[in-house]
Structure 1
Amino acid sequence: MRRRRVLGKDEQALWSAFVRDIQPLARRAARPAPLDAAPPAAPAAGPGAERRERVAPSVPAAPPSEVPRLARPGFTLVRSRAEIAIGHRGPGLDDTSWRTLVSGKLRPSRTLDLHGQNAHAAFQRLHGFLIQARSDNLRCVEVITGLGSGRDGGVLRRELPFWLGRPDLRPLILAVVHPHAANQGSVRILLRRARV
Structure 2
Amino acid sequence: MAGQERRTIDLEEGWAVMQKGITKLKNILEGKPEPQFSSEDYMMLYTTIYNMCTQKPPHDYSQQLYNKYRESFEEYITSMKVQNESLAQYATPLLEKEHSGCSALLRDDTVEDLSRMYRLFSKITRGLEPISNMFKTHVTNEGAALVKQAEDSASNKKLEKKDMIGMQEQVFLWKIIELHDKYVAYVTQCLHVDLWIS
TM-score by length of 2: 0.28
Q: Considering fraction of residues, name the structure with more helix.
A: 2
By relative contact order (CA 8 Å, sep 6+), the higher-ranking structure is 1
